[in-house]
Structure 1
Amino acid sequence: MKLSLATRIFLGYAVVLVTFGAVSLFSVAELHRNQQEIRLISQGYQPLSQDAAALETFHTNQIKDTERLLDEESVETRRALIRLARVYYPPLMAQRMASAQAKAREVLTFAPSGEMPFVRELEARFGELEAQHASHGQKAEAVFTALSTESPNRQKVAELIAELRQMESTIGRELRVLRAALDNRIRERVDRVEERERGTGLAIIMLSLVAIIVGLGATLLSARTLRPVRTLIEGVSRIGRGDYSAQLGVQGEDEVAVLAREFDAMARSLQARESQLKAQAEALARAEQLAAVGRISAQVAHEVRNPLSSIGLNVEMLEDALAHATFSDPEEARETKDLLAAVTREVDRLTDVTEQYLRMARPPKPTLVAEDVTEVLGSLLDFSREELERAGVQVVRHFDPDTPLVMADEGQLRQVFLNLVRNSREAMPGGGRLTVTIRGIDKEVEVFVQDTGRGMPEPVRERIFEPFFSTKEGGTGLGLSVSQQILQAHGGSLSCLSSSGQGTTFVLRLPRA
C-alpha cells in the first residue's frame, strides 16, 4: 500500500507519541504498584506488627504480675493484686485483639491478590490468639479464686498454676511467631519495593532512550521524506535563471516524487521548446538574411543579365565579322580571335552566376511526384562516370534494392545530387573513393554521399550552408545553400558530417511516398 507524504509524517510522529505514552503509562503503573506496596506496609503490616508487639508486651507484663502474685504471702495484698489484674489486663488484651482483627480485615480490602492468603492467615491467628486468651482468662480466674482464700490448697493451686504457665507459654510463643512473621513480611516487602524501584528506574531510563531514538528516527525519516522539496526548490530556481537542463531524478511514489517527475518532464519540455525556439529564431534570421540577399541578388542579376546578353550578342557579331575580315599578320588574327573567345567564356560564366543568383532568390516550387531515388542517383552517377574517372575517383554504390519511393521533383533532385558529387570530386584533387549509400528508414529515405577527401574543420563545417560562403577559389558559395533550400522545400533535410583529415559525409533525408 502506497502511503502519502502527509500520512507517513503523521504515522512517524504518531509512533513517537505512542512510544512516549507507553513510557508514561509504564511509569504511572509502576508508581501505582509501589504506592500499593507502601500502603500495604505502612497501613497494614506495620500497624499489625505494632499490635502484635503490644500484645506480647501486655502478655509479658501479665506473666510477671502473675508470678508476683504467686510470691506474695499477704492475703490482702494478693487480693488487691488479683482485683487489679481482673480490671487492667482483660480489657486491654481484648481491645488489642479486636483492633488487630479489624486491621487485618481492613488490609484485605486493599491488599494485592498475592497477599490475600497471608493476611487471612494473620486474621485467623489473631482469632486463635483471642480464643487462647479467653481460655487463659478462665485459667487465671481459677488461680485467682484459689489464691483469694485464707488458706489455699497448695496442691490444687500448684496444678492450676502449672496449667496457666503452660497456656501462657503457648500464647507467648504464638505472639512471638506472629510478630516474627510480620517483621519478616515487612522486610521482604521493603526489599521487593526497593528492588522494584531500581528495576523500574532502569526500565524507565531504557524506555526513555528507546523513545528518544524513535523520536530521532521519526525526525530523520521526516527530513529524508522532505529532502526532495529542497531539491525541487533548487530546480525551480535554476529554471527561473533560464537553466532548462535541471533534472531532479527523485525516486519514489509519493506526492513529492510525482511532482519532481512532472517537474523533470516540464524542464525537458521547456528545454526542447527553448531549442525549438532557438532553431526557429536562427531559421528566421537565416530566412531574413536569405530574403535580403535574394532581393539584392535578383536586383543585381537583373541589372547584369541584360548587359551580358547584349555583350554576348555583340561578341558573336564580332566573331562573324572577323570571320570575313583580312589581317596582314596571321598572328594578329589569331590573337584577336582568342580575345573574343575569352570574352565569350567570361560572359557565359557570368551568365551562369546570375542564373544561380536568380535560382536562390526565386527558387522554383518543386513538383512532387513519386520517384525512385536509386534510379535518379544511379543515372546521375552513370552520366558523371567519365568525369569522375578522369579525376581518379572510384565510385562505390550501396543501394538497398527495397528502397521505397520518395516524393520529389526529379530535376531539382538531380541538381542537388550533381552539386554534391562535384563537391566530393573537388574535395579529392588527387583521387579517392566516393561511397554512395541509399537506405529506407521509418518514414524517410536516407542518402549518404561520403568522400575520402581532406575533410573540413568544425568552424568551416558550421558555415558551409551559408550563402556566399565558399572555401573554393572562384566559388560562389551558393551550391550547398540552394541544395538545402531545395530539400527543405521537399520536406526533407541536408546535413554534413566532417572533420579534418577524415573525409566528408553529406546526409540527405527525403519523405517516403
Structure 2
Amino acid sequence: MRYGSGTARRLALGFGALVLLFAAASAVAIAGSMRIHRGLGEMKSREEGVRLSLELASAVRDQYAHQAHTIIIGDASHLGFYATSRETVLRLTRALRQAAEEPEERALVDQIEAESGRLDGIFRERIVPAVLAGERASVKLEHDRAQLVVTKIQDLTQALVERFEAKIRAFRREADVVQRRTLGFLVGLLVAAPGVAVIVSVVIGRSIATPVAQLHAGAARIAAGELDARIEVRGAPELEALARQWNATTAALREHQDRLVESEKLAGIGRLAAGVAHEINNPLGVILGYAKLLRKKADPAAAEDLAVIEEETLRAKEIVDGLLDLSRPLPAPAQPVDLRALTEDVVSRLRDARLLDGVAVSVDGGATAPGHPDKLRQVLVNLVRNAAEAAGPGGRVAVRVAAQDGTAEVAVEDSGPGIDAANRGKLFEPFFTTKPRGTGLGLAVSRAIARAHGGDLAADPGGGGGARFALRLPARAERAEA
C-alpha cells in the first residue's frame, strides 16, 4: 500500500478539511461568545450597582424622614424606626462597595459612607438631644444642616448611578462591535476554508505518510533481529510517541534478553560449581592443611614457598566459595534489616582489619529493608572495600542510606578514578576484574544477592569523578505485631 495516495490521502484530506473548518469556526465563535459573556457579566454587575444606588438613595430618604418625624413629634418614639433605616443604609453601602470595581466608583462609595455617618452623627449627637431639651432654634439649625447632607448624599448616589449607566452603555457598544467583528471573521473563514483545508490536509498527509513508512521499515528491521535498531520519527505527535514507545519496548526486550543470557550463564556456572565444589574443596582442604603443617617444620626458604602455596590455595578456595554463592538459592527475606546500622558495622569491622587505612569513610541517612543480614553484609563489605581500594590513601568514601517511593538505597561513592566506559558493561560479569589479584566474582555475587532480595545493584559515574555503586532494595513497611 502506498501511503502518499489512495485511501490514506483521501482520509487525510477529508479529515483535515473538516477539522480545520470546525476548529476555526468554533474558535472564532467561542472567542466572540466569551467576550460577549464577559461583557454581559459586567453589565449585570453594573445594573446591580444601579439598583443598589437607587435603593440607597431611597433608604437615605427614609432615614431623613424618621429624623423629620422625631423633630415634628418632639420625642424619641421614632428612634427604633430610625435605627432600622440606618441599618438598611449601612447594609446597602456595604453591598454597593462590593459592586464598585473602579477606583472612581469606590471613591464615590467612600464619600457616601462618610456623609451617611455624618448625617447619623448630626441626628444622634445634636438633633435628638435638642429635641428632648426643647431647643427649637438648635433643632432648626441642625435640621437645615442635615438636609444639606442628605442632598449631598443624593447627588453622590446620582453620580454613581450615572457612572454605572455609562459603563453599561459602553459594554453594549462593545458587545455590538464584537458581534459584528465575529460575524465578519466567520464569513471570511467560510470563504477561505476550502483552500486552507486543502493545504493543511496535504501537510497532514505528508506528516503521517512518511512517519508510517519509517515505522514500517523500523519494525521490519527489529523483526529481522536488529534489537539495537532505533526508529527516529518526525511527524504527528502520536506517531512520535509510538516510535518512542517502540524504542522503549525493544530496549526492554534487549535488556530482558541480556538478563536471560546472564541468568543462563550464572545457572551454568552454578551447575558446574554444585557438581565439582565438593570434589575440589576436599583436596584444597588437604593441601591447605599440609601446607600449614609443613610451614611449622620447614626452614625459612621452604616456609616462604609453602606460604605461597597456602596463599594460592586460599585464593582457589575463595573462587570456589564465590561460585557456590552464585549457585545457592536464596530463601525469601526473613527479617527487617537496619541498613544504616549494618553499614556502620561493616565500616567498623573493615577499619579494625586495617582495610580502610588512610581513607575517610562517612555514613549518612537511614532506611530499613527486609532481607538476610549476613547476605546484605556480604554485599556492603564488597562495595565499601572496593570503594576504599579505588579511592586509595587520602581518598574519600561516602555512603548514603535513604528510602524513597518504597525503595531503600545504599549508595557507595568514592573519589577514585572512576569506571572506564569500556568496562562498565562488564562489571557484573563473573570472572571479570580490573584488579591484579581479583577473582571477578565479588560484584557478580553481590548483584545476584540484590536481585534475590527483589532489588538490584547498579553502577554509575560518581558526582566527584569517581564511581558510585547503588544497592536498591524494596522497603516494605513493617507490620505491627498483635
TM-score range, shorter chain: 0.5 to 0.7
* Distance in 2, Cα, partners of 1:335 & 1:364: 45
2:267 matched residue in structure 1? 291
1:275 matched residue in structure 2? 251
* Distance in 2, Cα, partners of 1:492 & 1:451: 22
Task: Render the CA deviation track for 1:94-144: whole Å, top value 9, x for unaligned.
Answer: xxxxxxxxxxxxxxxxxxxxxxxxxxxxxxxxxxxxxxxxxxxxxxxxxxx
The Cα of 1:468 is off from its aligned counterpart by 0.8
| Residue 357 of structure 2, aligned match among 374, 388, 391 | 391
2:449 matched residue in structure 1? 486
* Distance verdict in 2 for CA 1:300–1:9, change over 3 Å: same
* Distance verdict in 2 for CA 1:390–1:463, change over 3 Å: closer
2:299 aligns to what SS in structure 1?
helix
* Distance in 1, Cα, partners of 2:231 & 2:270: 38
* Distance in 1, Cα, partners of 2:381 & 2:22: 74
2:256 aligns to what SS in structure 1?
helix
In the alignment, residue 449 of structure 2 is paired with which amino acid?
I
Contact 1:493 1:508 in 2 (8 A): yes
Give yes or no for the alignment of 1:425 onto 2:388: yes
| Residue 370 of structure 2, aligned match among 400, 403, 407 | 407
* Distance verdict in 2 for CA 1:10–1:385, change over 3 Å: closer
Contact 1:397 1:436 in 2 (8 A): yes
Contact 1:461 1:498 in 2 (8 A): no
The share of aligned pairs that are identical, in percent, is 31
| Residue 317 of structure 2, aligned match among 341, 348, 351 | 351
2:171 matched residue in structure 1? none
The Cα of 1:345 is off from its aligned counterpart by 3.1
Contact 2:207 2:235 in 1 (8 A): no
Give yes or no for the alignment of 1:218 onto 2:205: no
2:401 matched residue in structure 1? 438
Task: Render the CA deviation track for 1:273-309: whole Å, top value 9, x for unaligned.
Answer: 2111111111111222222333344445444222212
* Distance in 2, Cα, partners of 1:387 & 1:420: 16
The Cα of 1:408 is off from its aligned counterpart by 1.6
The Cα of 1:499 is off from its aligned counterpart by 7.4
In the alignment, residue 417 of structure 1 is paired with which amino acid?
L
Which is further off, 464-473 or 454-463?
454-463
Larger-gyration structure (1/2): 1
Written as runs of structure 1 = structure 2, the 5 A alignment for 1:23-422 is 218-242=194-218, 245-246=231-232, 250=236, 261=238, 263-315=239-291, 318=294, 322=297, 333-365=299-331, 367-387=333-353, 391-400=357-366, 403=367, 405-422=368-385
* Distance in 2, Cα, partners of 1:274 & 1:500: 30
* Distance in 1, Cα, partners of 2:356 & 2:210: 65
* Distance verdict in 2 for CA 1:499–1:319, change over 3 Å: closer
* Distance in 2, Cα, partners of 1:417 & 1:11: 64
Task: Render the CA deviation track for 1:160-193: whole Å, top value 9, x for unaligned.
Answer: xxxxxxxxxxxxxxxxxxxxxxxxxxxxxxxxxx
* Distance in 2, Cα, partners of 1:298 & 1:11: 72
Task: Render the CA deviation track for 1:298-335: whole Å, top value 9, x for unaligned.
Answer: 44544422221222344455467x4xxxxxxxxx7343
1:458 aligns to what SS in structure 2?
coil
* Distance verdict in 2 for CA 1:347–1:269, change over 3 Å: same
1:416 aligns to what SS in structure 2?
helix
1:267 aligns to what SS in structure 2?
helix
1:449 aligns to what SS in structure 2?
strand
Give yes or no for the alignment of 1:456 onto 2:419: yes
Unaligned 5+ residue runs, structure 2? 1-13, 24-186, 220-229, 477-482
1:459 aligns to what SS in structure 2?
coil
* Distance in 2, Cα, partners of 1:229 & 1:399: 56
* Distance in 2, Cα, partners of 1:214 & 1:341: 97
Task: Render the CA deviation track for 1:367-416: whole Å, top value 9, x for unaligned.
Answer: 3422111111111112222346762001122224xx3x212211110000
* Distance verdict in 2 for CA 1:363–1:479, change over 3 Å: farther
* Distance in 2, Cα, partners of 1:220 & 1:417: 67
* Distance verdict in 2 for CA 1:429–1:310, change over 3 Å: same
1:465 matched residue in structure 2? 428
1:509 matched residue in structure 2? 472
Contact 2:211 2:233 in 1 (8 A): yes
The Cα of 1:427 is off from its aligned counterpart by 0.8
* Distance in 2, Cα, partners of 1:296 & 1:363: 15
* Distance in 2, Cα, partners of 1:10 & 1:396: 66
* Distance in 1, Cα, partners of 2:278 & 2:391: 36
* Distance verdict in 2 for CA 1:372–1:242, change over 3 Å: same
In the alignment, residue 411 of structure 1 is paired with which amino acid?
D
* Distance in 2, Cα, partners of 1:333 & 1:246: 73
The Cα of 1:459 is off from its aligned counterpart by 0.6
* Distance in 1, Cα, partners of 2:341 & 2:451: 21
The Cα of 1:338 is off from its aligned counterpart by 4.0
2:246 aligns to what SS in structure 1?
helix
* Distance verdict in 2 for CA 1:317–1:395, change over 3 Å: closer
Task: Render the CA deviation track for 1:17-44: whole Å, top value 9, x for unaligned.
Answer: xxxxxxxxxxxxxxxxxxxxxxxxxxxx
Which is further off, 485-494 or 301-310?
301-310
Contact 1:456 1:499 in 2 (8 A): no
In the alignment, residue 377 of structure 1 is paired with which amino acid?
T
Contact 1:312 1:347 in 2 (8 A): yes
1:309 aligns to what SS in structure 2?
helix
Structure 1 vs Structure 2 CA RMSD: 3.3
1:35 matched residue in structure 2? none
